[in-house]
């Protein structure tokens, strides 16, 4: 993820949620997250537009992030 964040970080705000903390556990419940890793893609209004669960290739991540950018 570091490379993705480095390449997209000026266009997309990346937020990490610590599932070991009470706030992180609550956020996961609120979002319906069932396991890790899970990537929630939110638009500029904070609405979920996509979700990626599990491990994915860089190409898959880029495809989903590019689609997110093209929506805005």
Per-residue pLDDT of 13-42, as tens digits, reads 999 999 999 999 999 999 999 889 999 999
Q: Which residue has the tokens 């609550």?
A: 26
Residues sharing a CB contact under 8 Å with residue 32, sequence separation 6 or more, in sequence order: none
For residues 61 and 4, is the Cβ–Cβ distance under 8 A?
yes
Asked if residue 72 has pLDDT above 80, the reply is no
Question: What CATH number does the domain containing 43 carry?
Answer: 3.40.30.10
Percent of the chain with pLDDT over 90: 85
Residue ranges with strand state E in the chain: 38-42, 48-53
The SS3 assignment for 18 reads coil
Domain range for 63 is: 2-71
The count of domains in the chain is: 1
The SS3 assignment for 20 reads coil
Name the pTM for this structure: 0.85
């Amino acid at each position: 993820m570091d490379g993705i964040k480095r390449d997209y970080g000026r266009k997309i705000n990346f937020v990490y949620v610590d599932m070991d903390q009470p706030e992180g556990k609550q956020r996961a419940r609120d979002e319906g997250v069932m396991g890790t890793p899970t990537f929630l893609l939110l638009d500029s209004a904070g609405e979920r537009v996509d979700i990626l669960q599990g491990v994915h290739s860089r190409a898959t991540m880029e495809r989903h992030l590019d689609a997110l950018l093209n929506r805005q």
